[in-house]
Structures are given as structure tokens and as C-alpha cells.
Amino acid sequence: MASEDISLEDWLAEGHGDEVEWRKQMEMNRAAWQSPQELIQYLQTFIQALDNSPDVFFRLGVSKPYFVKGFFKQDLVDLLRVVEWARDSGVRYVRLSMG
């Protein structure tokens, strides 16, 4: 899950760029957020696809244990539980963030 928007004043004070760039970044940030239920549906669909094709990584030539031993799928299941918790706690929007 990710943080809130940065104000224009803070953006300029931190030297990230001008107002046009700030508006562009804020629009990209807003577009990245979605309802928990939407993300839940995506995760459930992806997990179901992995269940329906358990050999998908082998067929794709992927041999890393993270994928072929089920750790990737378990991470998706864990993420699903976190997003379900967020939904059940009344969170209106979530987004995935790398970092």
C-alpha cells in the first residue's frame, strides 16, 4: 500500500520540478489507486489461473524455485488476505507499490 499525494508546495520545495510536472505525477498517482474489491478480484483470478495451470512456469521455461515451488503463489495469497483485511477495515482505495 502506498502514501498520500505530496502537496505542490512540498514538491517545489524538494526540487522535483515545476507545477506541470507535479500535476502529471499527481494524475499518475491517482490513476494507480483502486478499490480493494477490484484488486481482490484481480488477485483471485490470477490465483485461480495458477491453480488451473500448475505447470505454467515449467511450460514458460521458468525454473526459479520462487515460482516453481509455490512461493510466488503464496505471496499472492498473502497479498489477497491483506487486501481483504483492508476492505473489511473500511479502506476505500489501495495501490501496490514496489520499494
Residue range 43-94, pLDDT digits in tens: 999 999 999 999 999 999 999 999 999 999 999 999 999 999 999 999 999 9
Number of domains in the chain: 2
Greater confidence (45 vs 98) lies with 45
Q: What is the rounded distance in angstroms from the CA atom of residue 68 to the CA atom of residue 22? A: 42
Distances (CA, A) of 85 to 42, 58, 95: 16, 33, 14
Residues 40 and 26 reside in one and the same domain: no
Containing domain of residue 75, as a range? 36-88
Is the same domain home to 26 and 43? no
The answer as to whether 95 is a domain residue is no
Residues 42 and 65 grouped into a single domain = yes
